[in-house]
Structure 1
Amino acid sequence: MNTTVTFTELEHLINNLAGTNGSALRDYVELDPTSPVIKLRIKPEVAVEGLPPGYDVDQRLNEALQDLLLVNPQGDTAQIPEEGDDPANLVLLPGDALDTPKSLDAIRVLVEGDSWCRLPEIPGIFLLPRLFPKAIGTQLQHRPGLEVKNIAHWGDTLGQIYQRKEYLTVIDSFQPQYFLLSAGGNDLQVNLRNIVHPYHPSRAVNDYLNPAGHNLLVWIRDTYAALIREVLARKPDVKILVYGYDYPKPTEESQYIGQHLTAKHIPEERMRGILSPMMDLLNQRIQEAAAQFPQVTFINCRGLTQDGYWFDDMHPNTAGYTRIVDAFVAGIR
């Protein structure tokens, strides 16, 4: 059924999400089923009257939600929501509103990255049958002894992060002791159909990345190194943590990875075996960048999230992310 909303009304809803559970957007917003990366959009059946020419309302929506955390208020504390929580009782709050007085020895951590560090914070009942997982950066914000600034944007590529350079501004103001970077996965994802050979029964599973894919991995390594140099030039004593994700779990029709491999005629039962060597190469290139700097530690997260710890084909569930967060906390401590 078609729905009409004025631009003024929609902007008011988007600008006033803090302090609500986001239910005001339930008739207008959905997870974009056509996007190769995590992205929210206004539903196609929603007509926005008075939309200014050239105005990207989807971009505005995603930007507005970047700084909001979904919490379950309990007394004087704000807890990470769990699957059984009533969405009506959950509240969106600005990330800074969760800041509590920190002890003098609290460790300051700046998190930059993609959807593995932050996912949309709207109760899942309004967008999906379940809550979005609490990703790495979001969980770190709830860990004791850490003062965390999370500037990750779901859907971001390494190229976008490096071009925007938000991390440099925040380093100046926040003065982190640790800088955590999660990037490169979306650069592969948005190019997946262009970097993978079509399926052939005689092709070895470690030979599906074509020359364009190998070149992209080299670019990821070199861009990591360039970004790290910028960070260290701005704050030479900061310690940097990087990783290369975990092995994804695609299926034939899954949105983020599986459908693209299906388009290459790769059978579902071969997908994981073909992707694993690519993820190993990604980890190797990121590790090569990290090895250039004594201030950088590479955290190997491969194999931490087995079956049962995944939300979709590209993202672990909250329990899966917790395993990865534990690995990062061990690197910080």
Structure 2
Amino acid sequence: MASKRPQSPPISLVELRKRCRDASLSEQELTDYFLPDEENSKPFAPALKLNEALVDVGRARPGPDAISKLYADATRAQTPLPKKPRVLTQTFRRAAKTKLLAEGDSWFNLPDYIYPKTAIDFLGSDNDFDVSNIALWGDELEAMVRAKQYRQPLRSGLFGHFLFSGGGNDVLGSIPAYVKPRKSGDTDPAHAADYVKATFPQKISQMMGFYRSLANDARDATAGRVVLYVHGYANAIPKKGGHYLGGPFETLGFDPVAHAPLCRAIVAQMVKLFNDALQSFAQSTAHVVYNDLRPAMTERDWYRDEIHPNESGARKIARIFAESVRANTPGV
């Protein structure tokens, strides 16, 4: 029988904050001192809580946002920009890594060690790429485009490729807002489109306005030299009692097991509308590349929380982006 690993020593909140700022916590300490907080998690914004059996919080009660910030500091979620490349001789120029900037939501960045690795984690381990990731779980499309944190890195001139992930909360996390209650006796997946409210395509149109602003920002910051890569997520699978998909469907009168084909078809319809809009946007906008992730994601490639890829799914997505970047890199 395997021996149980020793637990990390108790720590005060003051010391924990210092260790987080110094990024000096080990993987074991991170997973001992921080725990998933399902009660306060939202779509594409997984929350964390402190393990108060080990962390002495005293009278303080940090909220989920403050705890996520601590964890991001501890794991250096926002990686520093690479240094300006030195001038290379012709002999070594081809060996230089392709520099990528990534911005987005939890499909591009999740709390390390607690959640699965993302596609950007795997892309960063590819010997051909040097990835600077400024994505952070919980970031939403509108807020990212209004904050424009990507603009300064793009202006540095270091990046020819810009990967962006945004809008997942508006699609995979929006069942309560945009799906109608089930009609009594209806289990036919052919009726999926009838259950998507007319306000959802309106929401998609609003989202595409932010994507157009994003493309304009990228073009203006780089004088049109950067390629923007976008994606429309994939056909997630509702589970019985699932926090983000299955539970909301049950509230609307659907059973994710008994009515599985209909529930899945409704999710697929919503994802399709977003993908169609992104594809049209990319086809009509210079230097924008659309990536369809749906064919790659199988039922086995989803994490248990319903809306994120597991590591096998993330690896597949990383390969799609890698192939897309190589196809749009001169001389590769």
Amino acid of the residue matched to residue 156 of structure 1?
D
1:11 counterpart residue number? 17
Paired with 2:199 and 2:298, the residues of 1 have a C-alpha distance of: 30
So what's the TM-score if we normalise by structure 2?
0.79
| Selected match of 2:319 from 322, 326, 330 | 326
Shift of 1:148: 0.7
Paired with 2:168 and 2:34, the residues of 1 have a C-alpha distance of: 29
1:42 counterpart residue number? 49
Amino acid of the residue matched to residue 134 of structure 2?
I
Kept in 1: contact 2:25–2:74 (CA 8 A) = no
1:308 counterpart residue number? 300
| Selected match of 2:152 from 152, 155, 169 | 169
Kept in 2: contact 1:221–1:288 (CA 8 A) = no
1:216 counterpart residue number? 203
Question: Quick check: 1:282 aligned with 2:274?
Answer: yes
Amino acid of the residue matched to residue 225 of structure 1?
R
Kept in 2: contact 1:193–1:260 (CA 8 A) = yes
1:266 counterpart residue number? 254
Structure 2 matches for 1:18-37, cutoff 5 A? 18=24, 20-23=26-29, 26-27=32-33, 29-37=35-43
Kept in 2: contact 1:138–1:150 (CA 8 A) = no
Structure 2 matches for 1:4-153, cutoff 5 A? 7-18=13-24, 20-23=26-29, 26-27=32-33, 29-37=35-43, 38-43=45-50, 48-51=57-60, 57-66=63-72, 95=79, 104=93, 105-122=96-113, 124=114, 132-153=115-136
Q: Deviations over 1:203-223 (max 9, x none)?
A: 811222112222111111111
Question: Larger Rg: 1 or 2?
Answer: 2
Counterpart secondary structure, 1:240: strand
Structure 2 matches for 1:169-208, cutoff 5 A? 169-173=152-156, 175-200=158-183, 201-202=185-186, 204-208=191-195
Q: Deviations over 1:180-217 (max 9, x none)?
A: 11111112345431111111144811222112222111
Shift of 1:154: 1.2
| Selected match of 2:243 from 252, 255, 280 | 255
Counterpart secondary structure, 2:253: coil
Paired with 1:50 and 1:292, the residues of 2 have a C-alpha distance of: 56
Paired with 2:77 and 2:264, the residues of 1 have a C-alpha distance of: 38
Q: Deviations over 1:130-151 (max 9, x none)?
A: xx22111111111111111111
1:296 counterpart residue number? 288
- In structure 1, the gaps of 5 or more residues are 70-91, 125-131
Amino acid of the residue matched to residue 217 of structure 2?
E
Paired with 1:267 and 1:145, the residues of 2 have a C-alpha distance of: 45
Paired with 1:19 and 1:44, the residues of 2 have a C-alpha distance of: 15
Worse-superposed segment, 17-26 or 265-274: 17-26
Question: For residues 167 and 282 of structure 1, do their structure 2 counterparts lie closer, same or farther at Cα, with a shift above 3 Å needed?
Answer: same
Question: For residues 97 and 279 of structure 1, do their structure 2 counterparts lie closer, same or farther at Cα, with a shift above 3 Å needed?
Answer: closer
Counterpart secondary structure, 1:26: helix
Q: Pairwise CA RMSD of aligned residues? A: 2.9
Paired with 2:132 and 2:112, the residues of 1 have a C-alpha distance of: 16
Paired with 1:94 and 1:295, the residues of 2 have a C-alpha distance of: 25
Counterpart secondary structure, 1:66: helix
Shift of 1:172: 2.1
2:142 counterpart residue number? 159
Amino acid of the residue matched to residue 183 of structure 1?
G
Shift of 1:238: 0.3
Aligned length: 296
Q: Could you say which structure has the higher strand fraction?
A: 1
- In structure 2, the gaps of 5 or more residues are 1-9, 87-91, 327-332
Shift of 1:22: 4.7
1:72 counterpart residue number? none
Kept in 2: contact 1:247–1:303 (CA 8 A) = no
Question: For residues 98 and 292 of structure 1, do their structure 2 counterparts lie closer, same or farther at Cα, with a shift above 3 Å needed?
Answer: closer
Question: For residues 208 and 179 of structure 1, do their structure 2 counterparts lie closer, same or farther at Cα, with a shift above 3 Å needed?
Answer: same
Question: For residues 217 and 228 of structure 1, do their structure 2 counterparts lie closer, same or farther at Cα, with a shift above 3 Å needed?
Answer: same
1:83 counterpart residue number? none
Between the aligned residues of both structures, percent identity stands at 23
